[in-house]
Every structure is written in structure tokens, then in C-alpha cells.
């Protein structure tokens, strides 16, 4: 192996100095290319071709309208009822056709559908992958705390609207949700017509071909209208594809994405509309952009695997795998959303797991102990502080962040996290993170760094996003077993030590599910054979899980019935890290 291959230090994750930094229209400080990217995402209703419109900039995702013989087909409904209504109002200026059908590209942008049903005043067919419902339930139940915190970080939801730290854009859209659409009413309606395989059919009198095409969601589909030479997809984004979203997600295998892109390329579309960004027109341009996009994904995969086979660690891989300049000539493969070095790490994790052969990662010290020893080895706290300042002055930002992190990881905070440190140390790390934020083209990285910087400085309190929370509306509208099963990830082992009890839950329609607490786990069952039980209606169940009502108060009000020994039920429910379940 040539030494030069391992010594690549050029990084497109952020600029080496502030020469590319500028000020945006709302006083935002950031990379000039990220500021310029905003124009591509600005609010506009595009007429893609006669009878086809794409609403860009209305929220994070696009809403697409196709005039079919029997009425409008609406593809994706956004993040809220209000968002969908705004898009519908725009297209109403161009057509009076009633909405005849809805199609979901995937589960991320399905919350505005009720606005369309209200507009029509009747039920309409809704097409989508069968995995949409289960994906929504998964995100809102077991990983709801981590998922909510990740969205806050990735999309900068708590950043100010003006000033240096304000959001420039979020890479795929202007913002996660437009403030014009508050209070963001959820109006998801499940698909009535399922697309679980490649199929040809007719929707609203128009020929349509559906093809499953996993992307950032395993329920994504590509939609092809052969009579219009129009393809609507969730594969080609206005930024390099996010193998790894900084908010955290299940592994997105690039090999599967390549299959979808090759199918898309084979359609030879005249018009290409994405879930994000402006539409494309012209077979030649579409062919070039799709091929470039496809090749960028293969490059990341192939070169990461090549490096893995050579025995490189993940830290070495991020230098070894650098996107060639060819991929910087089009915004479709620019790092406006995530960054390649994070994608490389995720490919390693998805393919080979977390251990990369680095001996130090095999049996590491506890974070607090490691930080203390590093600080001591570098001459003490004052010495490390001085070295951080020196590194920042020399634009050695990566090293400054690492050293500054020791200072705040050397002790635990009130919640037990290794996230303490003096205010001086926290501000030092915040300064280093803010430099990265102001020099990166990647909206995800910028938002994460600024959100963390503001938390370190004390202007943001994210404590509520580190507590498992359930959404009352989602609990009430979901099958009871979804959230009974989710309780297992809230079990506190110390509380469950020695407990061996089987508790049956009867919620609402008298369907039952059980949890058998044993050996410090809560095992889901069908509830049969349990000699302990709890019975309550759906609204009471939802209020308790959402911490709006305590079980004790619900018992006092007669809204809950306990079957069996109350003390034993109290013991079981006390095993879970949810204050509202505690029975005093």
C-alpha cells in the first residue's frame, strides 16, 4: 500500500479556515455554498409539465400534484395538515380538479393527508407500502426519546430564527417545518391500497407503475407514469445521499439504493420529481445526474470495503475514502446534508460492526476515567485549556474539539452523564464546534454543532429530550400492543431484580397483551395464564403513558381496574422508568 493513500488529509467536511464563510440574509454565519444552496430550496410551485405541479419549499418535503382523468393525484402530504392545505391552496390557482387519490413515497411525509380528505369530503384511495404504519409506530414508541432528540439536533429546531446561529437551510429543504404552518396538526391516514411488490395499475384513470425502492426508509417506492414520461422518487436528492443521518437511524445499505437508482435510470424519464428539491426536465440531464448520483454511492461503498479489506480502522477510513472532485460539479452529490466521512463510518458499522481492529476500542476505560487520565498526561486542566486555545488559533479544529471534550467528560452531571466541566471548559468546546458549523457545507453537521454549542453555553436545555416520552395522540390511535411492548425498553434492571411476575393488559377493545417480567427483562406475551391484570380504556392508557395522568389518580377516579394482588401489580409497574406508572 502506498503511503500517500493513507496520508490524505484533505477533508470536505468543513473548510480549513474562514475564507469560505459568509453571512446569510438573516445574519446566519455559514459556508457560502450552503447559503447559496437556499435558492434551490426556496418556496415555489413548479409546473413540471402540463398537468403536473411540484410544490418545493413548503416544508422539508415536496408535495406533487398530477392531473389524471378522474382528478388530482397527490404524492406525499408533508409534516402536517396545515402544510398540505397550503400546498393545495397553491395548486388550486392552476386547476379546479378534485383530489382523487394519494400516494406516499415513504413514511416520512404522510402527516397532512386528512387535509385532502376534508377537502374532498369523502374517502379516497391512498397508495403506499405496508411498512409505513409499522415504521411510524417504531419511531414513536421504542426510540421516541432518541428520535426526538436526534431531530432537534439534525434540523436545528431550537436554534434562533435570526443571527449567527440561525438555520440557513436544512439541506433537503428550507426548514423542517415552516412556522407559517403552526400548530402542526397531525393528519396521517393509513394506506388503503398496499404496494408490497413491483406492480402496474391504474390510479385515478392514469397508468402507474410502482416499484419498491428502499432508500432512507425501507418502505420507499418509485412511481412511474409511462404516459407522462414522469418519475417521482425518493432516491435522488438535492444533496449527497445520507447513508448516515446524524440524528441516528437504522442502517441504510447503499447496495440496495444502487438497485433502485439503476431501475430509475432504465426508465429514461423526460421528467424527474423527487421527494426533495426542484424537479428536473430533459432525458439527457436526468440521465447524467442519476448516473452521477448512482456512482457516488458506489464509490463510497467500494472504497470503504477496499479500505476494510486492507485492515484500516474507521478513523483511517475517513481519510482514505474521499470523494473525487468529479462529484463536486453538481449539487446532487455535494455534501449539503450529511458528510462523507460519517457515511464511511456507517458503512463499516453496517457491514462489519462497531469493532474496527483498533486495540484501544476493544476494552476502553470508562469515559470519565479516560478523560481524567488524558488531562493528567497532558499536564493538567490548565495545560489542556491552553493547548485547546493554541489549536484553535492554528485552525487545528479537530484536535481542539478532542482535547476540549476531555475537559467536560472528566466528571458526570446531575443526570449521571459524562457531561459536566466548568463553564469555561464548556464554552471552549462550544467555540470549537461553532467554528465547524460556520465552515461546513453540510446542514446536518452545522445544526448539530450549533445546537450542542448552545447547550454547552447554557442557552439551550435539552434535558427533556433525554427522557422517554410517548405522544398521547399516537398512543391512543395505535394498537395497544405497540406501546405495551415498548415498555420493555423502559425496564430498570435494579428495580426488577428478583421479580418474576406475569401482568396482563386489557386496553379499550378488550384485546389483551401481557408482559412477563423475569430475569430483568419484560417479555411480551399474549397475556394468557397471567394471574395479574390491569384494565383501562384507550384514552386513559394514552394519558398515563404520555405522563398526563398518573396511574394512582386514574385508579382513584375509577378509570382503571386492577385484577389480582395489588401489591404485586405495584411491584411490576414500578420496574419501569415511567413516573406515571408508579403506584404509591
DSSP characters over 42-61: SSEEEEEETTEEEEESSSSS
Cell output for 493: 434492571
Q: CA 233 to CA 103: how far, in whole Å?
A: 11
CB 563 within 8 A of CB 551: no
Could you say which DSSP state residue 159 is in?
A: S
Q: Please, are residues 520 and 497 in contact by the beta-carbon 8 Å criterion? A: yes
- CA dist 275 → 56, 211, 231 (Å): 9, 15, 11
Q: Say yes or no to pLDDT of 12 above 80.
A: no
Mean per-residue pLDDT, 133-143 = 86
pLDDT at 370: 97
What is the predicted pLDDT for the residue at 509?
A: 78
pLDDT at 339 over 50: yes
Residue 144 pLDDT: 85
Report how far apart, in Å, the C-alpha atoms of 545 and of each of 453, 472, 490, 503, 579 are: 32, 7, 12, 17, 9
Return the SS3 of 98: coil
- Spatial contact of 408 and 302, defined as CB atoms under 8 Å apart: no
Please tell me the predicted confidence (pLDDT) of residue 88.
97
Beta bridge partners of 127: 103, 193
In this predicted structure, the answer to whether residue 429 has a pLDDT above a threshold of 80 is yes
Mean pLDDT of 398-422: 95
- 44-48, 96-100, 511-515, 526-530: the lowest-pLDDT one: 511-515
- pLDDT band at 1; cut points 50, 70, 90: very low
What mean pLDDT value characterizes the chain? 94
- For residue 143, the model assigns a pLDDT of 85
Question: How far apart are alpha carbons 256 and 241 in whole angstroms?
Answer: 13
- Per-residue confidence (pLDDT) for residue 447, from 0 to 100: 98
Rounded to 5°, angle at Cα 207 from 44 and 281: 35
Report how far residue 261's alpha carbon sits from residue 295's, in angstroms, rounded to the nearest whole number. Answer: 10
Say if residues 147 and 245 touch (Cβ distance below 8 Å): no
- Please say if the pLDDT value at position 8 is more than 90: no
Contact indicator for 75, 66 with CB cutoff of 8 Å:
yes
Closest among 243, 242, 112 to 185, alpha carbons compared: 112
% pLDDT > 90, the chain:
91
DSSP H helices, 440-537, are 443-457, 472-477, 480-486, 493-496
Which residue's entry shows cell 425502492? 213
Does residue 7 carry a pLDDT above 90? no
Per-residue pLDDT, 4? 37
From the list 82, 384, 290, the residue with the least C-alpha distance to 392 is 384
Of 545, 498, 544, 503, nearest in space to 523 by CA? 503
Which pTM does this prediction carry?
A: 0.93
CA distance 430 to 45: 39
- Strand order of the β-sheet with 532-536 is 521-525, 511-518, 501-507, 532-536, 560-563
Contact in structure between 575 and 492 (CB atoms under 8 Å): yes
Pairing of strands 52-56, 63-68: antiparallel
The pLDDT-based confidence of 6 (bands split at 50, 70, 90) is very low
Cell numbers standing for residue 548: 398526563
The CA distances from residue 22 to 27, 337, 363, 584, in Å, are: 9, 18, 44, 58
**Which residue in the block uniquely carries the three cell numbers 450529511?**
338
* C-beta atoms surrounding 479 within 10 Å: 16
Output the 3-class SS for 240-301.
Answer: CCCCCCCCCCCCCCHHHHHHHHHHHHHCCCCEEEECCCCCEECHHHHHHHHHHHHHHHHHHH
Task: Please report which confidence band the pLDDT of residue 10 belongs to, taking 50, 70 and 90 as the band edges.
Answer: very low
> What CA–CA distance (Å, rounded) separates 388 from 370?
18
- Bond from prior residue into 39 cis (ω within 30 degrees of 0): no
C-alpha–C-alpha distance, residues 92 and 568, integer Å? 60
pLDDT of residue 2: 35
**Residue 355 φ/ψ, nearest 5 degrees:** -85, 125
pLDDT tens digits, 49-82: 999 999 999 999 999 999 999 999 999 999 999 9
Q: Residues 385-415, buried b or exposed e (16+ Cβ, 10 A)?
A: bebbbebbeeebbeebbebbbbbbbbeeeee
Tens digits of residue pLDDT in 205-227: 999 999 999 999 999 999 999 99
DSSP-derived letter for residue 415 is: T
Q: How far is CA 339 from CA 93, 240, 345, in A?
A: 39, 8, 11
- The pLDDT of residue 508 is above 50: yes
Tell me what pLDDT residue 137 has: 87
**102 pairs with which residues across the strands?**
74, 126
Amino acid at each position: 500500500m502506498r503511503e500517500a493513500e493513507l496520508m490524505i488529509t484533505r477533508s470536505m467536511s468543513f473548510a480549513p479556515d474562514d475564507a469560505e464563510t459568509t453571512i446569510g440574509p438573516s445574519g446566519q454565519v455559514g459556508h457560502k455554498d450552503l447559503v447559496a444552496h437556499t435558492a434551490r430550496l426556496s418556496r415555489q410551485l413548479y409546473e413540471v409539465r402540463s398537468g403536473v405541479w411540484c410544490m418545493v419549499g413548503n416544508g422539508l418535503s415536496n408535495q406533487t400534484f398530477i392531473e389524471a382523468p378522474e382528478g388530482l393525484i397527490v404524492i406525499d402530504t408533508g409534516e402536517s395538515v396545515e402544510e398540505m392545505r397550503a400546498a393545495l391552496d397553491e395548486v388550486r390557482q392552476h386547476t379546479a380538479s378534485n383530489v382523487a387519490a394519494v400516494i406516499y413515497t415513504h413514511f416520512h411525509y404522510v402527516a397532512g393527508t386528512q387535509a385532502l380528505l376534508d377537502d374532498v369530503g369523502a374517502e379516497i384511495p391512498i397508495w403506499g407500502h405496508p411498512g409505513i404504519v409499522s415504521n411510524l409506530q417504531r419511531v414513536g414508541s421504542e426510540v421516541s426519546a432518541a428520535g426526538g432528540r436526534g431531530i432537534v439536533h439534525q434540523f436545528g429546531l431550537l436554534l434562533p430564527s435570526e443571527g449567527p446561529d440561525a438555520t440557513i437551510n436544512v439541506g433537503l429543504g428550507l426548514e423542517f417545518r415552516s412556522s407559517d404552518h403552526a400548530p402542526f396538526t397531525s393528519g396521517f391516514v393509513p394506506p388503503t391500497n398496499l404496494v408490497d411488490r413491483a406492480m402496474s395499475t391504474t390510479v385515478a384513470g392514469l397508468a402507474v407503475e410502482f416499484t419498491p425502492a428502499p432508500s432512507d426508509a425501507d418502505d420507499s417506492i418509485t412511481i412511474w407514469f409511462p404516459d407522462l414520461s414522469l418519475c417521482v422518487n425518493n432516491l435522488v436528492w438535492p444533496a449527497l445521499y445520507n447513508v448516515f443521518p446524524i440524528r441516528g437511524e437504522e442502517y441504510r445499505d447503499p447496495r440496495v439504493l444502487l438497485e433502485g437508482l439503476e431501475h430509475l435510470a432504465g426508465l429514461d424519464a423526460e421528467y424527474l420529481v423527487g421527494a426533495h428539491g426542484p424537479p428536473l426536465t430533459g432525458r439527457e440531464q436526468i440521465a447524467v445526474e442519476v448516473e452521477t448520483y448512482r456512482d457516488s454511492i458506489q464509490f463510497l461503498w467500494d472504497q470503504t470495503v477496499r479500505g476494510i479489506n486492507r485492515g484500516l480502522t474507521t478513523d483511517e477510513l475517513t481519510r482514505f475514502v474521499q470523494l473525487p472532485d468529479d462529484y463536486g460539479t453538481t449539487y446532487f452529490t455535494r455534501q449539503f446534508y450529511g458528510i462523507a466521512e460519517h457515511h464511511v463510518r456507517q458503512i463499516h458499522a453496517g457491514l462489519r460492526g462497531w469493532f474496527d481492529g483498533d486495540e484501544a476500542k476493544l476494552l476502553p476505560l470508562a469515559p470519565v476515567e479516560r478523560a481524567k487520565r488524558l488531562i493528567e498526561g497532558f499536564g493538567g486542566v490548565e495545560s489542556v485549556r491552553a493547548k485547546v486555545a493554541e489549536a484553535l488559533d492554528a485552525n487545528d479544529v479537530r484536535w481542539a474539539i478532542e482535547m476540549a471534550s476531555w475537559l467536560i467528560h472528566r466528571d458526570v452531571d446531575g443526570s449521571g452523564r459524562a457531561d459536566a466541566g466548568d463553564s469555561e471548559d464548556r464554552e471552549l468546546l462550544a467555540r470549537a464546534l461553532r467554528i465547524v458549523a460556520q465552515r461546513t457545507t453540510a446542514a446536518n453537521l452545522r445544526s448539530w454543532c450549533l445546537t450542542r454549542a448552545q447547550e454547552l453555553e447554557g442557552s439551550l436545555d435539552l434535558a427533556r429530550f433525554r427522557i422517554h416520552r410517548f405522544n398521547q395522540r399516537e398512543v391512543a390511535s395505535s394498537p395497544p400492543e405497540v406501546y405495551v411492548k415498548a415498555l420493555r425498553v423502559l425496564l430498570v434492571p435494579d428495580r426488577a431484580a428478583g421479580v418474576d411476575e406475569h401482568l396482563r393488559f386489557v386496553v379499550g377493545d378488550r384485546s389483551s397483551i401481557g408482559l412477563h417480567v423475569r430475569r430483568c427483562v419484560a417479555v411480551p406475551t399474549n397475556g394468557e395464564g397471567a394471574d395479574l391484570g390491569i384494565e383501562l380504556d384507550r384514552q386513559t392508557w394514552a394519558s398515563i403513558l404520555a405522563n398526563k395522568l398518573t396511574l394512582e389518580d386514574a385508579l382513584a377516579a375509577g378509570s382503571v381496574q386492577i385484577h389480582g394482588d395489588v401489591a404485586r401489580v405495584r411491584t411490576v409497574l414500578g420496574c419501569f422508568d415511567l413516573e406515571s406508572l408508579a403506584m404509591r
